[in-house]
């Protein structure tokens, strides 16, 4: 299921990465190692490149005209920007959950089965097993097991977001990227997603962008603080274990952000 044979090791290694949109530099000289089977939170004020950064990890920025990447991003030691890398396969290994739940306008079952079918799995019994397993992993099975044939759009916002997580899990990824997955949800649904993340981190590498300091402190093992420089390029100010970053930051700018002096 999840790929945590490299637990304790580095899953993704980012080295001297610069991201440009045309002539505008969005990220400058980013380097960090993302550990396997842990939750890494990306924090920082609006506009500092957090979402752009995690979109680099499964090449989602490729679809933006004029986007250009320098440096290297290694997934299990292989540069994902190498010409030989199959982007479809990469996005199977590195799944993305977006800020706003985005179920497909089809049944709950077909939402989850969509990815496996795209990858050539059509056996009905096998698909049923994948759907049940993915929904169980996403802590949603008990709520929807009698509604598999109903439209996913009829689910609540929190259920829709867990459905989107289950949809990512169905293709057996190794890394799950979450771009502010709780910002559209109420506090109760948010806690369910946070519990889910902690469970999933036993098997998967998770990278989450969050504006919510408390959430970053609650759920993440590592935290990276990004901010915008005067020319509007995003830079990595500080990166380390979450407990250390929040209680004893090395950089004054990190401390100012965490204590609410700016941002």
Q: Kindly write down the DSSP assignment for every residue of 46-92, as one continuous string.
A: TTSSHHHHHHHTTTGGGGSTTEEEEEEEEETTEETTSTT--HHHHHH
Distance CA 251, CA 249 (A): 6
Contacts of residue 76, Cβ cutoff 8 Å, sequence gap at least 6: 6, 11, 174
Distance CA 72, CA 251 (A): 26
Q: Is the pLDDT of residue 32 over 60?
A: yes
Note whether 57 and 19 are within 8 A (CB). no
176-202 average pLDDT score: 94
Instruction: Specify which residues 35 forms β-bridges with.
Output: 10
What is the reported pLDDT for 260? 85
In this prediction, residue 1 has a pLDDT band, given cuts at 50, 70 and 90, of: very low
**Phi/psi zone of residue 48: left (φ > 0), alpha (ψ -120 to 50 degrees), beta?**
alpha
Distance CA 247, CA 191 (A): 23
Architecture of domain 10-258: 3-Layer(aba) Sandwich (3.40)
- Give Cα separations from 228 to 61, 139, 154, 216 (angstroms): 19, 37, 39, 19
Contacts of residue 46, Cβ cutoff 8 Å, sequence gap at least 6: 211
* Domain layout of the chain by residue ranges: 10-258
In this prediction, residue 205 has a pLDDT band, given cuts at 50, 70 and 90, of: very high
Distance CA 194, CA 216 (A): 10
In this prediction, residue 263 has a pLDDT band, given cuts at 50, 70 and 90, of: low
């Amino acid at each position: 299921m999840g790929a945590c044979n490299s637990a304790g090791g580095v899953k993704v290694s980012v080295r001297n990465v610069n991201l440009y949109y045309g002539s505008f530099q969005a990220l400058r000289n980013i380097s960090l190692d993302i550990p396997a089977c842990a939750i890494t939170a990306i924090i920082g004020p609006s506009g500092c490149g957090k979402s752009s950064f995690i979109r680099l990890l499964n090449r989602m920025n490729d679809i933006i005209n004029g986007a250009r990447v320098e440096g290297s991003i290694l997934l299990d030691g292989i540069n994902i920007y190498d010409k030989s890398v199959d982007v479809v396969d990469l996005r199977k290994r590195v799944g993305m959950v977006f800020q706003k739940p985005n179920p497909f306008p089809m049944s709950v079952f077909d939402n989850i089965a969509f990815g496996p079918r795209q990858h050539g799995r059509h056996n009905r019994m096998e698909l049923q097993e994948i759907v049940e397993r993915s929904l169980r992993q996403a802590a949603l099975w008990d709520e929807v097991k009698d509604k598999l044939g109903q439209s996913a759009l009829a689910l609540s916002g929190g259920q829709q977001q867990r459905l989107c997580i289950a949809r990512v899990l169905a293709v057996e990824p190794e890394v799950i990227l979450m771009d502010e997955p709780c910002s559209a949800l109420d506090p109760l649904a948010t806690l369910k997603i946070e519990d889910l993340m902690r469970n999933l981190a036993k098997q998967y590498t998770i990278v989450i962008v969050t504006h919510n300091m408390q959430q970053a402190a609650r759920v993440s093992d590592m935290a990276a603080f990004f901010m915008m420089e005067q020319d509007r390029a995003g830079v990595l100010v500080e990166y380390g274990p979450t407990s250390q970053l929040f209680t004893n930051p090395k950089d004054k700018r990190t401390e100012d952000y965490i204590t609410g002096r700016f941002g």
